[in-house]
Structure 1
Amino acid sequence: MSKSPLKTSDFDYDLPPERIAQTPVEPRHNARLLVMWRDRPDLEHARFWDIGRYLAPGDLLVVNETRVIPARIWARKPSGGRVELLLLKKMNEEAWEALVGGKRIRPFLSLRVEGGPTAEVVADLGGSRRLIRFSEPIEPYLPHIGLMPLPPYIHEPLRDPERYQTVFARQPGSAAAPTAGLHFTPELIEHLKQQGIRFAGLILHIGLDTFAPVTEEDPTQHHIHTEWCELPPETARLVNETKRAGKRVVAVGTTSVRALETAARHGAPGDWVAPFAGPTDLFILPGFEFRVVDALVTNFHLPRSTLLMLVSAFAGRERILEVYREAIRLNYRFYSFGDAMLIL
């Protein structure tokens, strides 16, 4: 098998720490928007509220309607020692894959969740991951005992937990927010709809692996995280209708890209996508052929991350890194609470 010409170091860049946004902009639609075209060198600088200037009637914005769960909880061992649990993925009604913080968290250890049910460590999944089985479903307790799992690079406490939810959020299941959607407000959505721009929803539940850097020298050897997604029939219909009409499908966030291009694997002849529900392991690297997505709304991503690789596949690695350097020079805010890009 031939060695991949890609190297993970090809997706590295230097970001001054002060460029990492610690708090969100208010109102949400006042974030800055960097607009780039893939077929010409132009860049434009606007506010997110102005995004409609770059869209046309009949274009379809596809948003991720997942909701972040307050997944950081605490438990006590029989010895009294405190254990932090970060719920990552629901395996069945009682069992979750979780990251654990604490010593000697081994299989068969009993835990009592503070303010919640008892639990048992069922399996060691490697590193700090464990399979935890609760004595009853944990979800009803989470609004009362859980904290929002902010990304590790955000050090400021969040005064309003809803600020780490999109206005589209409706189905709980994510350990992180689909941050490109954080810039939308009800006022902006109504403004865009009046312009003839349509919206459609899908679900992709995001795991914390989304923040994990690729550590392998050859990114094709990286084991991509699997995430659950659902493209409902109505969204599939709107996507196919939009494509047939020669209008653009605009993915809001890399998670929407991943779900749409996964659904493209299941499209019937004459259609671009088919309704789909299940896990996706799609890893989008430069060289990937996009079948559905025509434009992308996204934030600025971490060096060496699978998300930076995805936007590089969409717009070209050298071009993206050049635009990132310009964004740093112009004091754009990076990462989850940062500013946005529109890639056309």
Structure 2
Amino acid sequence: MRVDLFDFELPGDLIALRPVSPRDSARMLVLKGPDHSTDRQVADLPSILDAGDVLVFNDTRVIPAQLEGTRGEARIGATLHKRIDLRRWQAFVRNGKRLREGDTIDFGLDVTATAEARFPDGSWTLAFAGDEPVEVLLERSGRMPLPPYIAQRRPTDEQDRSDYQTLFAREDGAVAAPTAALHFTPGLLEALKARGVATETLTLHVGAGTFLPVKVDDTADHAMHAEWGRIDSQTADRLNAARAAGRRVIAVGTTSLRLLESAADEMGMIDPFEGDTAIFITPGYRFRAIDGLMTNFHLPKSTLFMLVSALMGTERMQAAYAHAIRERYRFYSYGDSSLLLP
């Protein structure tokens, strides 16, 4: 499938650089079925969803995974992507051509790492020195890994340490936020509970690969980066029971959706899951585990715009995004939301 089918023009001033406050005051474009759409707010969710619906959240927590350091006189930037073991991470490296296997990178504040091996895609294995947990080292020397489309427009600051975490964040390991859930507040969760909407959580540690552009002309030639996820048996059982009872399972975010679909068998039963997934969803995919998706607005020609096009139809999503641009919705990680109910 041609990648240019998923292209569109986005004015730069629609890229949100900060979230709105309160978070649930963000706008939300609701698409139902083949032709119904309406402009709402995230705070309206309790009046839109049905009693018995289940929202599935990702409880991953973003770590300060962006590091700036030196190897001799060379400046080296590293964005951790995926944990390999307790002390080693796969990382995307800026100025990586200045590295050789065995080089030590000094990230300051007594944080160093050895560049052990280079992957075919240009990323590196970094092995962190010392006995302190790597998460402690990152809290000391790292920065929040804001998406490039924000980081290119303003510096990361202390406010991002709270803005770029969801209410559900408790499992350290993500280097990008599951941004659909950034819109939820304690008050909204209480209103959803009063409505009879259930919530479940799973864990998918979002990697920096989520921001990589699709550089091929055909989707068949694109290779997804793997990310680690887990769904425990109790959560799987409750989700299967909900769907068996005719209740809708709605993923909050593409990360939740991709893990649910990775865990589902051909009959739509969700199995317990622990391990890597590199699922790539494009139009023609048959969804097995979910009945809807809440998600932000995505980049042109991105794997995530392909995913929402698979759920709702490419023409439908192109028209929806054109509407969002005309109505000046805010785009990307800190932007507005959409609720997609096929």
Question: What TM-score bracket applies, with the shorter chain setting the length?
Answer: over 0.9
Q: Which residue matches 1:140?
A: 136
- Give CA deviations for 1:52-83 in whole Å, capped at 9, x if unaligned: 11211111000001111101123332x34432
CA distance in 1, matches of 2:74, 2:216: 35
CA distance in 1, matches of 2:298, 2:111: 37
Per the TM alignment, residue 316 of structure 1 is displaced from its structure 2 partner at its CA by 0.2
Q: Which residue matches 2:298?
A: 301
Q: Which residue matches 1:199?
A: 199
- Gapped runs of 5+ residues in structure 1? 1-5
Q: Which residue matches 1:35?
A: 30
Q: Which residue matches 1:184?
A: 184
Q: 1:116–1:138: 8 Å Cα contact kept in structure 2?
A: no
User: Which stretch of the first structure deviates more once superposed, 140-149 or 316-325?
Assistant: 140-149
SS in 1 for 2:321: helix
CA distance in 2, matches of 1:113, 1:212: 24
Q: Which residue matches 1:318?
A: 315
CA distance in 1, matches of 2:176, 2:293: 19
SS in 2 for 1:210: helix
Q: 1:202–1:256: 8 Å Cα contact kept in structure 2?
A: yes
2:60 to 56, 66, 75: 66
Q: 1:95–1:133: 8 Å Cα contact kept in structure 2?
A: yes
Q: Does 1:106 align with 2:100?
A: yes
Per the TM alignment, residue 17 of structure 1 is displaced from its structure 2 partner at its CA by 0.6
What do you get for the CA RMSD once the two structures are aligned?
1.5
Q: Does 1:13 align with 2:5?
A: no
CA distance in 2, matches of 1:326, 1:81: 46
2:272 to 275, 286, 294: 275
- Give CA deviations for 1:80-137 in whole Å, capped at 9, x if unaligned: 4432221111111111111222351111112333113432111122454111111234
Amino acid in structure 1 at the alignment position of 2:165: Q
SS in 2 for 1:334: coil
CA distance in 1, matches of 2:91, 2:110: 16
Per the TM alignment, residue 158 of structure 1 is displaced from its structure 2 partner at its CA by 4.1
CA distance in 2, matches of 1:232, 1:142: 28
Q: 2:93–2:123: 8 Å Cα contact kept in structure 1?
A: yes
CA distance in 2, matches of 1:212, 1:118: 26
Q: Which residue matches 1:152?
A: 148
SS in 1 for 2:55: strand
Q: Which residue matches 1:332?
A: 329
CA distance in 1, matches of 2:208, 2:11: 23
CA distance in 2, matches of 1:211, 1:222: 14
Q: 1:117–1:138: 8 Å Cα contact kept in structure 2?
A: no
Per the TM alignment, residue 190 of structure 1 is displaced from its structure 2 partner at its CA by 1.0
TM-score by length of 1: 0.93
SS in 2 for 1:203: strand
Q: Which residue matches 2:80?
A: 87
CA distance in 1, matches of 2:36, 2:111: 56
Q: Which residue matches 1:3?
A: none
- Gapped runs of 5+ residues in structure 2? none
TM-score by length of 2: 0.94
Per the TM alignment, residue 196 of structure 1 is displaced from its structure 2 partner at its CA by 0.6
- Residues paired across the two proteins, number: 334
Q: 2:111–2:141: 8 Å Cα contact kept in structure 1?
A: no
SS in 1 for 2:116: strand
